Structure 1
Amino acid sequence: MDDSANLSPQIEQAFGPQGLGILTVKGVPGYPALRRRLLLLAERLAALPADITQRLEDPDSLWNIGWSRGREALADGQLDVHKASFYANPLLDCPDADAIAAARFPSYCRPNLWPDEELPELRAAFRDLGVLIISVGLLLAGHCDRYAAARAAALLANPEGHTLGKADAGAEGDWCGWHRDHGSLTGLTAALFVRRGQEVAAPDARAGLHVRDRGGRVVRAALPADHLAFQMGEAMQVQSGGLLQATPHCVRAAGGPSAAGVARNAFAVFMQPRWDEPLEAPAGAAAEQVGIPRWRPGLTFGEFAELTVRDYYQPAAPAKEDVTG
C-alpha cells in the first residue's frame, strides 16, 4: 500500500455510505506464510489440557488477555461456548502503564500470558503476524484520516446525509454473534480450516464471516487466503463524526456432515487508541451523527472500552462443550 497514493475512491467504495464496510489488501510481502504458520498452531493451542488453558486465563482482564472460552455474552445474553479465543498484545508483553492505569483499565494493561513450555512456537508466530498486520493497518488509517478530513466539511453541513447502521441480533451468528468492534480498525486473516492437523477446504460455503451494510443487506465476506481484510470499529466512527461507520458482523458456523471435526482458525488484530487518549468527535458533530449510544463527550478510549467490554464478558463457570471453531 502506497502511503502517497490517493486511495479516497477505494475508501469511499469500502467504507462510504454505499460501502459494505470491509476492505481487503493484497500483495503484502511475507503475509501468506506468516498466516499459515500461526493458524496451523491454533489447533495445537486449543488441544492443550484444561489445566494449562486455565493457567492461561486472566479474569482480571475480563478475559481480554490469554485464553477465553465460554466467557463472551452473545446478543441474547447466552455465553458463547462454541469458540475459543487467545488474546495477546503483539507489540508489548507488558504495556507501559502505571499502577493506577493498570487497575483502572485491566483489559488493556495486563501482561501477556504465553504457553512457552507447551507451545514455544506460538509467541514468535503471533507477534510476527500481528506486527505485519499493524504496519498495513497504520498505512490504511492514514488514508482514512485524509478521506475523513476531506469529507468533514460536507458532513457537518449536511448532518442527515448518511444513514446509521444497526447491529441487530440474529440467530444465524452462532459462532460469534452480531456485534461491532469498539476499536479503530480490525485487521483480519482469511480463516484456515483444519482437521486432525491437516489443512482442508472450507466445509460449508454458506458459513464464515458475514457483514451487514448500512442498508441492512447481509453479505458473506469470502476472503481470499492471500488478502488481508480490514473492518471499521466504533472508535473510528466517533472520531470521524459518523462518516466512517463500524462494521456489524458475525461468524456463522459450518453445518452438515463435512463440517464434523473441522476447526475454523482465524486471527484478528484490534487496533485502537491508547487507553488514556480522549475519544472525541470532530467539532460540531452532533451525537446523532456519531451514532454510538455508549459514547459521550469527555470519555477516554479506555473508559469507552470498559463500558463495551463489560457488556460482552461476565464471570461464569468454565464451559464444558467441545471447541468447534
Structure 2
Amino acid sequence: MEAEPEIIELYDLHFSDLLLLSSSDALSSPTPVDQSRLECISASVMEALGPSGPGLLSISGVPLASSLRRSLLPLALHLSLLNPKDRAPLLKRHGLGSDVPLKKPDRKVSSFASLLKYQGESVLDQVQEIDFTSSSEDIEHNFGLHELDEGEFDHLGDTFEKLGRCMMELGVRLARICDNAMQSIELEKSIIQSGSAKGRLIHYHSELDGFILKEATKNVRHVNRSKKSPAFKEICKEKSTVADLWQQWHYDYGIFTVLTSPLFLSSTVEGEHLVSKESLPPMGHSCLQLFDNRKKRIVSVKCQAESFIIQVGEAADVLSGGKLRSTLHSVSKPTGLAGDVSRETFVLFLQPSWDKVLHYDGFSMDPDEEVRSGDELAEIRSKIPPLSARLRNGMTFAEFSRETTKQYYGGSGIQSKS
C-alpha cells in the first residue's frame, strides 16, 4: 500500500489583515509596531505565493462565508443526481450551465457554472465579522431521488452570485497586496479589466452516486427495494483500497483561483430518499494535493473548515515576472475513503481579459527540477504539457487559453483520454 502524502497547513491570512493591507486608508498613521506587523504579513503572503512557497494560501474570518458556503455546497450533490429533464430547466432558471457531460453516469465530477460580472463595490468591508464556528450545526439534507423539490433550489442562483462576489473581492484585494509588494498594478488591473469571472459549483462523486446514476439510466422508476438496499449498503460500507484522482494533475492558467474549503458529505439511501450528513475530512485533509518542486514530493493540503483558498495561476506567473508561481495540483480520492463520501466545493476563476497580451521576458517559465525516468515526478510530468509549449511571447490570453485547453484535453491532448 502506498504511503499517504505528507499533510501541510497553509499560511493563513486573516480577513481583518487582508482589509488592512489592501485598504489605503485603513491605517492612516500606523504605529511602528503596526507597520512592522503588516510588513511581515505582506512578506509572508509573497513567500507563500512565490517560487519558494506552495503557491497558495488560506483566508479565514471572512464575513458571510459560513452561511453562504453551507447554503450552496450541498446543492451540488442534489443537482448532480437530478433527472436531466428536471435539471436543465432548473439550471436555466437560475442562470447556470455546465461544462462537463452530465449525461455520463460514470463521470467523476459534476460542475455547474456561470459567468459573474465584476461590480466594483465592496460587499465585505461593511459587514460585521461573525463567528459561526461555535454555533454552526452539522449539515443534514434529505433529498428525493425521484421527485424534484423546486423549493430546495429557490435561492440557488442568488446564493451562487453572492458567494461568487465575496470570493471575487477576496481575489482582487489579494492581487492589490501582491501588486503593492511588487510595486506594480498589473494583477489587480488585469482582473478588473476582464470584468467577469467564471464560478463553478463542483460535486466530486462518491461510489454511491455512480450506482444511483447507473440505476437511473435503466429508466426504472420503481424497483424492488429489497433488491436495491443491500447493494446500496455494501457500497456505503466498502472502503477504497486503491488511490485514485477525482481530478487529474494540472496547473490553473488564470491569475487566481479562489476556492471554498471543501465540504464532505456522507450519504445513505433510505427508501426513495438520499440522506446526506456532513462528514469529517477523510484522512484529515482537503484532498487537494500539490507537487512540492523543492522537495520532489506530493503533499496534501489541510485548511480550516470555513476558510477560503487562493491559488496562483500561470497568468500570474507571467504578469508578475516569475515573482508569483503556480503549483501543479490535483484532487485525490484517497485510500480508505468510504464509498458513500462525496466532496463539494465552489471555485471562482479570476483571469485577464481575453485580449490581454502576455509577455514573459526575464524569467524561466518551466520548473528547473531534474526529472529522472521512473520517478514519481516523471510520471506526473508526462501528463502535463509544459508552459513553454503552450505560451509564446506576445500571445493574447485568449490564444494561450485555447492552446492550453487543446494540449490538455483536445482530441490529441495529453489528458484527452483520462
- 1:1-325 aligned at under 5 Å gives the runs 1=18, 2=20, 3=22, 4=24, 5-6=38-39, 7-53=41-87, 66-69=97-100, 81-91=107-117, 119-149=153-183, 174-194=245-265, 195=267, 196-205=275-284, 208-215=287-294, 216-256=296-336, 259-281=338-360, 284-286=361-363, 288=365, 292-293=387-388, 294-314=390-410
* Gap runs ≥5 in structure 2: 1-17, 25-37, 119-149, 185-241, 268-274, 368-385, 412-418
Question: Across the two proteins, how many residue pairs are aligned to each other?
Answer: 257
Is the contact made by 2:245 and 2:333 (CA closer than 8 Å) also made in structure 1? yes
For 1:189, give the aligned amino acid: T
Structure-1 separation of matches of 2:280 and 2:249: 25
User: Which TM-score applies when normalising by structure 1?
Assistant: 0.69
Q: Percent identity?
A: 33
Is the contact made by 1:173 and 1:250 (CA closer than 8 Å) also made in structure 2? no
Structure-2 separation of matches of 1:17 and 1:313: 27
Higher strand share: 2
> SS at 1:66's partner residue?
coil
Structure-2 change in CA distance of 1:213 and 1:254 (3 Å):
closer
Measured after TM superposition, the shift of residue 173 of structure 1 is: 5.6
- More relative contact order, 1 or 2 (CA 8 Å, 6+ apart): 1
Is the contact made by 2:286 and 2:302 (CA closer than 8 Å) also made in structure 1? no
Measured after TM superposition, the shift of residue 232 of structure 1 is: 0.3
CA deviation digits over 1:213-265, x for unaligned, max 9? 33133211111112111110000001112221112111101443x62222110
* Gap runs ≥5 in structure 1: 59-64, 72-79, 93-115, 151-170, 316-325
Structure-2 separation of matches of 1:206 and 1:225: 10
Is the contact made by 1:277 and 1:301 (CA closer than 8 Å) also made in structure 2? yes
> SS at 1:177's partner residue?
strand
CA deviation digits over 1:69-117, x for unaligned, max 9? 459xxxxxxxx9311112211327xxxxxxxxxxxxxxxxxxxxxxx99
Structure-2 change in CA distance of 1:11 and 1:56 (3 Å):
same
Measured after TM superposition, the shift of residue 27 of structure 1 is: 1.2
State which structure, 1 or 2, has the greater radius of gyration over its C-alpha atoms: 2
CA deviation digits over 1:129-157, x for unaligned, max 9? 1100110110101111223348xxxxxxx
